[in-house]
Amino acid sequence: MVEKQQDHIQQWVSKLVDYKKQKIFGGRNPMDTKKKRILDLISLDGQVAIVTGAASGIGLATAKLLAEMGVTIGLIDINESDGIDATEQIKESGGNAKFFLCDVTSDSECKKTVEAIHKEFGKIDILFNNAGVIRRKNVLDLEEKDWDLIVDVNLKAIYLLSRHVIPIMIKGKGGSIINNGSGWGIKGGSNAVAYCAAKGGVVNMTRAMAIDHGKHGIRVNCVCPGDVDTPLLRGEAKQLGVDEETFMKEAAERPLNRVGDPQDIAYAVLYLASNLSSWVTGTTIIVDGGGLA
């Protein structure tokens, strides 16, 4: 008798739960609804992005992640062989991408490349200005040609690409521009005077762009990485003439006790490109494992 009552109660509870699911979720499992909500926030299905410096490091990791989120990627780099390889990696994973060889310090090449990407994909929704270069020297040791190179790649390139992309975004009624800064764009560092100057410019340029183009529905933000395990970072050890293993060990000396992974920065870019940050513009997100804390 007791068992029959328990069965009856269990059946009644199950029916009540099913009824509530039907009433609240339209018959869908609440977990499915939750997943859909999350996907709606981070999904970028159908959008088109330009990623500069996309052949390796942070650029490659970001291009791959955005492609996973449904973005068609126009990869830009001066390294043609690695750029083509990066594009193939994205395609093999089911993403849509095309490589464009471009010197981001040349206005004519930036214009031609942006026009080609726009013609190929019909629009541009996201621009990740990521290309970068560093020379570890102070004012006395740095040659003028290296100053020009560092400022041109890290800072001028953002101006050049943005001036050709923004009119397309305005016609499309909005977009997201993410500039790659650096922790050294916020505080100084040793033997990196041109890099610090350029990245400081990136941080404040981001604010100015956000003010100018918010009325067009374009959000402009900056991500500032700490030391991330990329060819660029490892190359610094060689420039400074120090042991690479020791250099990387010292770079990990921060609250989270590790150097960054390119994916760490890619996640921040995804946030700034997605609806999760729909009311975020003119800001700088520091992603450095607590290095500046």
Q: Is residue 36 part of a domain?
A: no
pLDDT at 42: 82
Q: Is residue 11 part of a domain?
A: no
Tell me the average pLDDT of the chain. 92
Q: Is residue 28 part of a domain?
A: no
Q: How far apart are CA 25 and CA 13, in angstroms?
A: 17
Q: How far apart are CA 185 and CA 213, in angstroms?
A: 22
Going by their DSSP bridges, the two strands 48-52 and 96-101 should be labelled as unpaired
In the block, tokens 């979720």 appear at: 25
Q: Is residue 32 part of a domain?
A: no
Confidence of residue 36 (pLDDT cuts 50, 70, 90): confident
* 195 carries an active-site annotation: yes
Q: Is residue 117 part of a domain?
A: yes
pLDDT of 24 > 50? The answer is no
Q: Is residue 213 part of a domain?
A: yes
Element (H, E) at 222: strand 218-225
Host domain of residue 103? 48-287
User: What percent of the chain shows pLDDT beyond 90?
Assistant: 85
pLDDT of 121 > 90? The answer is yes
pLDDT of 39 > 70? The answer is yes
Q: Is residue 112 part of a domain?
A: yes
Q: Which of 19, 195, 267, 271 is catalytic?
A: 195
Q: What is the CATH number of the domain that holds 114?
A: 3.40.50.720
CA distances from 187 to 239, 260, 265 (A): 21, 18, 19
Question: Do 92 and 68 meet the contact criterion of CB atoms below 8 Å apart?
Answer: no
pLDDT at 198: 98
Number of domain units in the chain = 1
Taking only the tens place, the pLDDT of each residue in 144-161 is 999 999 999 999 999 999
pLDDT of 31 > 80? The answer is no
Q: Is residue 144 part of a domain?
A: yes
CA distances from 253 to 135, 237, 248 (A): 22, 16, 9
Q: Average pLDDT of 42-62?
A: 96
Taking only the tens place, the pLDDT of each residue in 162-201 is 999 999 999 999 999 999 999 999 999 999 999 999 999 9
In the three-class reduction of DSSP (H, G, I as helix; E, B as strand; rest coil), residue 135 is classed as: coil
pLDDT of 48 > 50? The answer is yes
